[in-house]
Structure 1
Amino acid sequence: MIHMLVELPTWMLIRSFGILSYLTLFIGMVMGISYSFPTIKGHRKGLLLRWHTYANITGMGFALLHTVLLIIDTFMPFDWAELLIPFHAANSPLWNGLGTIAMYGLLLVLLTTDIRHKLKRKLWLALHMLSYPIFALLLLHGFFLGTDSKQGWAILMYVVTAIILLGLTVLRMQQSIRKRQVKLGPTKHL
């Protein structure tokens, strides 16, 4: 069994699971932001929530595989302390540390979502909004540490995903501002 594990193309799998994790978590973010738009209702809203959940759980699974395979990698092996303690890695401690913090953040967001009915709404929402800085940490971890990050397709992937998330977030914030303005009624100008 050990021989079979050592013979795995671990470096390729580590890279693939890292990219798959990033992309599925990106899809989860897109679905989550889209779910919050007031124009999305009914069956479509339920479908978005379901896919948001599936994407994030799948992304977390890929992230865990990405992390665990670093233990058995023969090219650049990590020990458990390097993986579990932020900024403790011998190689690129900053970028690896950001990945470790992002992993803990992902676990926090997913676990608190599972118990959201036991939390006050404001607390759950504050914890859920950590998804934005967590995603930024994932982007930085992948961009600066990924062995494929200098490839044109990888640069394009990071830039396009960042622009899409930023655009959706700005659009959602604009809708929230408009909704508050409608609730407050017309303002008087001097």
Structure 2
Amino acid sequence: MIHFLVGLPTWMLIRTFGILSYLTLFLGMSLGIIYSFPQIKGHKKGQVLRWHTYANVTGTCFALLHTVLLIIDTFMPFDWAELVIPFTAKHNPILNGIGTLAMYGILLVLFTTDIRNKLKRKIWLAFHLLSYPIFALSLLHGTLIGTDSKQGWAILMYFGTAAILVSLTVLRFQFSARKRQLKVRSSNL
């Protein structure tokens, strides 16, 4: 079994799982924002929520695989302490620590979502809004330490995903502002 694990193309798998994690978490976050749009109703709203959840769980699994494979990588192996304790890695401790913090953040958001019915809405929402800084940490980790981050496709991917999330967030705030204005108008009548 050890020979099989050591014989795996770990560096390629680590990179692939890292990118897949980033993209599926981006998709999950985008769907979470879209879920709040007033145009999404009924059956569509349920579908968006299911895909949001599926993408986030899948992205977390990819992130865990990305992390665990670093243990058996023969080119640049990490020990468990370097992966579990932020900013202790021998190689790029700050950037790897950012990745570790992002992983903990993802797990925290998923856990608090699982116990959502036991939390007050404001508390759950505060944890859920951590998705934004977690995404920023993931973006920093990928762009600054990713071995492919200087490639044109990777630059386009990182820039494009960030631009889409910013745009969706702006739209979300615009819809919220309109909703508040309508409530104020209707209460004044």
Q: Give TM-score, length-normalised by structure 2.
A: 0.97
Distance in 2 between the 1:180 and 1:2 partners? 60
Distance in 2 between the 1:120 and 1:6 partners? 47
Is 1:17 aligned with 2:17?
yes
2:109 is matched with 109
Distance in 2 between the 1:12 and 1:68 partners? 14
2:141 is matched with 141
- Please tell me the root mean square deviation across aligned C-alpha atoms, in Å: 1.1
| Counterpart mapping for 1:60-99 below 5 A | 60-99=60-99
Aligned partner letter, 1:94: I
1:182 is matched with 182
2:38 is matched with 38
* Number of residue-to-residue matches in the alignment: 187
**Which digits, 9 at most, give the CA deviation of each residue in 1:27-79, with x for residues without a partner?**
00111000011110000000000000000000000000000000000000000
Distance in 1 between the 2:80 and 2:181 partners? 51
Aligned partner letter, 1:18: G
Distance in 1 between the 2:34 and 2:138 partners? 20
**Which digits, 9 at most, give the CA deviation of each residue in 1:87-129, with x for residues without a partner?**
1111111110110000000000001101100100000000000
Distance in 1 between the 2:93 and 2:20 partners? 23
| Counterpart mapping for 1:121-136 below 5 A | 121-136=121-136
Aligned partner letter, 1:148: D
- 1:182 offset after TM fit, Å? 1.3
Is 1:48 aligned with 2:21?
no
**Structure 1, unpaired ranges of 5+:** none
Distance in 2 between the 1:36 and 1:105 partners? 22
Distance in 2 between the 1:143 and 1:94 partners? 13
Moved over 6 A (4+): none
**Structure 2, unpaired ranges of 5+:** none
1:8 is matched with 8
2:127 is paired with a residue whose SS is: helix
1:185 is paired with a residue whose SS is: helix
Aligned partner letter, 2:182: V
Distance in 1 between the 2:114 and 2:75 partners? 37
Aligned partner letter, 1:120: K
1:167 is matched with 167
